[in-house]
Amino acid sequence: MSHITSMLDAYPKDLGDIDRGKLAECIAACFECAQTCTSCADACLGEEMVAELTKCIRTNQDCADVCATTGNVLSRHTGYDANVTRSVLEACAATCKACADECGQHAEMHEHCKVCAEACRRCEQACNDLLAGLGRGASE
């Protein structure tokens, strides 16, 4: 059992009808993607052709920030608002898609971009899977 799952199980109130497995998977995917994007941006900065990777670096940094924020928002349940969660998940999925597309353009030349694109696609899918199961409105 992961710490994410343990914390969800330890939450003192009912989480409602949200799928705990999908929630835990999405939180993990968000934090993994944030770390991977941060590392990819750093690796891009270490490349000799760094000027050609400017957009990739920026996209990686944006994706890392959005994924970390999404993971944090998904980790909080008190005062839960499905509308806020939905918006954050939509933004994260869109950012992950953009980053995966950008890194995918460099994947044949840079292994770190290949790894990053895969992490972004996984996070995008996890966000979309969780979104598909979210209810409407707000709850406690």
Cα–Cα distance between 103 and 115 in angstroms, integer? 9
Please state, rounded to an integer, the average pLDDT across all residues of the chain: 93
Residue whose tokens read 């900065």: 45
Looking at the structure, give the CATH architecture of the domain made up of residues 19-133.
Up-down Bundle (1.20)
| Band (96; pLDDT cuts 50, 70, 90) | very high
Given a cut of 70, whether residue 86 has pLDDT beyond it is yes
Least-confidence region, from 9-23, 34-48, 62-76, 94-108: 9-23
Q: What is the reported pLDDT for 138?
A: 45
Residue whose tokens read 């972004």: 120
Given a cut of 80, whether residue 54 has pLDDT beyond it is yes
